[in-house]
Every structure is written in C-alpha cells, then in structure tokens.
Structure 1
C-alpha cells in the first residue's frame, strides 16, 4: 500500500535549508521559500543544489504554499516529510504487510498511556497479546548504513522507556523504523549522535521489545512498501 500525494509533486532545486523549517527552492527562474516538515538535522539528506520535489497547497491561509517532500542525492529519493512515516505504517498495518504484526483486527492510532501516547495499539489477535507500536522515520545514512536518530532525541529515549514498561506489563511492544531512502540495506542506532538512545535500544531489545525495520520504495508520485531490512545493535 502506498502514500500518494493529492497532486503530482514538482521537481525543483534545493538551494538551502535553514531554521529547521525553511528551505529556499529554485524552480526555473523563480526562487521562493518552502516549508520543511522535519525537526531533525537532515544530515545526509541535503546539500546545496540537490534535486528535490515539492508539493503545493491551495490553502490561502498558509504562510508558504510549498512543502519540501523529497530530496535526491543522485542515487535515491529521500523522504524528508516525517509525517509520512506514520501514514505508511498505518497503511501497512491495515493491509497486513508487516509480517510480524499481522492478524490484529483493531489498529488504533495515538493510543494514550498515562500522560503520553504510543503511535499504534493493536488488539484482537487470537494467540498474541495486545501490541503497542512506536514508529520512527529514518533518513540518516552514515558509513553506508541507515541510522537513527539524526540528532539527540530525548523524546525517542522516552518512547523506548515506555515500550520497555509496556513489555514488562505483559504486552507486546515493537519499535518500527520506516526507512525513507533506498541506498541502504541495513540499519543500526546512531551511537555517535545519541549514545543514550543506543543504550536504551539495546536494553529494550534485551527485555523483548521487537525491533522492526522496513524500507520504502521512493518516488515522486507515491511512496510504497519496500522490504524488511536487517538491524544491527552495534
């Protein structure tokens, strides 16, 4: 199952990204600022004058009509809109594409636990306990390997602690990484960027939190289901 844009994306040139949420775009003879829906560092996801793909909104209330959706490093499109990871995960779960998480009749997004929320709650499997799934978008590539996170992530650390607690309470718990680039064939935690996250992920794995990595098929008309990738703890 694929995520498609409401309208076809337009290919352009990315001049620079700055203040996290802004990018200067060149389209023909025109230069304008687009919204960047990504809070991370976007390391390995852009350089000046890379090809990119943008969407355009007709909403007159928006400050910027255009959104940066994809960049291209010469080998692959890279999905820099982090919101698409959860959209993809929801579609894949509903259509039984993630083999480790099939058979559940209830797929509830944004399940509240205490004062926090987990991305998906699965229920209804006849032989397995209910399952909580947290989703992370992966775009960082270092040393030829997909890595996460691309900046210190206290929020990500908190989610791992929550998944470990849910596992201890008898639930299934899974960490699902959605890799939005096709020039990698395995993934690991970015120890050099967030050592604490890497340590917590190892602890989570040790207590039975499942680590699932799925790669997308990237394109300017849609982002589709790709394949499972191996995961390395070190």
Structure 2
C-alpha cells in the first residue's frame, strides 16, 4: 500500500480531543487529524518523529493527517483507515496463505442489520467473513497486543463472527500489526477482560485467528510475515 503523497517528517507534540494532534515543523505548530480511536498506548511521546500527509482536498478543514509515529527507531503505522487497504492488497496478491484459495473479495459486506464485516471472500466451494483489527501496542520486547483500550465494538465483532460460523460461513479475524519489531501476539486481557473472554469463546467455536506484521516506511506499508498468536 503506497502513500498517495510524500509524507512530511515532523516532531510530535501532543494528542487531544481524541482525533487531533499537534506536531512541529520548522518551529511551526501544525494540527493534524489523528485517524485512530484507540489509546495509542506507548506511542504519544513528545519530541519523537511523526510523519504526516497533506490532503489534496482543498475543502478539507484539517489538511494534515497523522500516518506514522516513530518509537525506539521503529516506525509504527497508526492510521486505522489504511488497515483494510493493506489487507486487501495482500488478499489480492495471495500473500495470506490461509486465504489464498479465495478468489472473490468484497469489502464492507452486511452480515445482519447491526453488523458489517470488513470483507466477504469466496470461491466455488466456500464463503467466509473476515474482520480486521489494527495493532500498534507493544509493552515488552516479544509481544504485540490488542486492544490498547476497552472496545465494546471489538467484543461485538467476536460474537458476530461466532454467529457467522453457526450459519455455515467460515469466519476469520486478522490482527494486522502495523510495525515489524514483534515476534508474537496476544490479547491484552488486563486492558479488556471481556474482549479476551469473547476471543477464547470464538476460538472454541471455530473462528480462525491470523496475525501478520507489516513493513512500514514513509513510502508504503505492506504485509511482512505471519506472527504467532499466544492463546493463554
């Protein structure tokens, strides 16, 4: 997934009102949109590098968007709006081995009156719903974790994937880590115990979980490698 425009290197100052960040460029303070509703735990460090994009839409109120934060010399993609684009390209290019048999790919497909899943994929024999979650949290040297804040929406998606499985569909949840310095993945049950409980229940009911890391640069973000999921 290549960025549409060249990213601008700035220094992070602060995040506020959830979807706003201030950054510094040549001693000028710029306000940018923050396309991430999570806590971004561990990433909001004043003075570290922040990469922003500039919108081509002249009517847009905030012309800048935060795309990447750097921490410990590691680039982390924080734009959750790009997550599905990265996964879609990987599906099309057959980079996700577990899903390479599916040839038809549809985005944002309605499952019921309350839920749309990120993808509906199919072939002549099988049909599957796929939900994707963006991961940025890393609290120790080995593990990436999700979520970084309690997520009622995420809890619901796990229950809906169980429902899809009961109705005869295959069901997948892909955790996309938008960083490349992780070797394992686990659910942060200390942050959201209910999500962990639903996660374990979904696994028991046959929902498939996959996790992949990303190669992140200021030019593009692409799927990198499969990451082991710890189910303890």
> Shared fold (TM-score greater than 0.5)?
yes
Give the Å deviation of 1:125. 4.6
Q: How far apart in 2 are the matches of 1:232 and 1:125?
A: 33
Deviates further, 143-152 or 223-232? 143-152
The residue number in structure 2 matching 1:228 is 226
What do the CA deviations read for 1:147-170 (whole angstroms, capped 9, x no partner)? Answer: 111111010011000101111222
Question: Could you say what secondary structure the match of 2:67 adopts?
Answer: strand
1:204 lines up with 2:202 in the alignment: yes
Q: How far apart in 1 are the matches of 2:166 and 2:140?
A: 35
Give the Å deviation of 1:192. 0.6
Consecutive unaligned residues in structure 2, runs of 5 or more? none
What do the CA deviations read for 1:185-221 (whole angstroms, capped 9, x no partner)? Answer: 1110110110000011011111111110011001000
Contact 1:166 1:172 in 2 (8 A): yes
Consecutive unaligned residues in structure 1, runs of 5 or more? none
Q: How far apart in 2 are the matches of 1:210 and 1:45?
A: 29
What do the CA deviations read for 1:114-171 (whole angstroms, capped 9, x no partner)? Answer: 1110110111154xx2111000000011233111111110100110001011112221
Contact 1:93 1:101 in 2 (8 A): yes
Give the Å deviation of 1:28. 1.1
Q: How far apart in 2 are the matches of 1:185 and 1:19?
A: 33
Q: How far apart in 1 are the matches of 2:11 and 2:108?
A: 35
Q: How far apart in 2 are the matches of 1:51 and 1:98?
A: 31
Question: Could you say what secondary structure the match of 2:21 adopts?
Answer: strand
Structure 2 matches for 1:116-127, cutoff 5 A? 116-126=115-125
1:76 lines up with 2:83 in the alignment: no
Contact 2:87 2:223 in 1 (8 A): no
Give the Å deviation of 1:231. 0.2
Which of 36, 39, 42 lines up with 1:38 in the alignment? Answer: 36
Contact 1:45 1:80 in 2 (8 A): no
- RMSD over equivalenced CA pairs, Å: 1.0
Q: How far apart in 2 are the matches of 1:36 and 1:73?
A: 17
Q: How far apart in 1 are the matches of 2:56 and 2:175?
A: 32
Contact 1:214 1:229 in 2 (8 A): yes
The residue number in structure 1 matching 2:170 is 172
The residue number in structure 2 matching 1:99 is 97
Aligned length: 230
Q: How far apart in 1 are the matches of 2:140 and 2:190?
A: 12
Q: How far apart in 2 are the matches of 1:58 and 1:130?
A: 38
**TM-score of the aligned structures, taking structure 1 as reference length:** 0.95
Q: How far apart in 2 are the matches of 1:212 and 1:53?
A: 28
Give the Å deviation of 1:74. 2.4
Q: How far apart in 2 are the matches of 1:29 and 1:15?
A: 11
The residue number in structure 1 matching 2:129 is 132
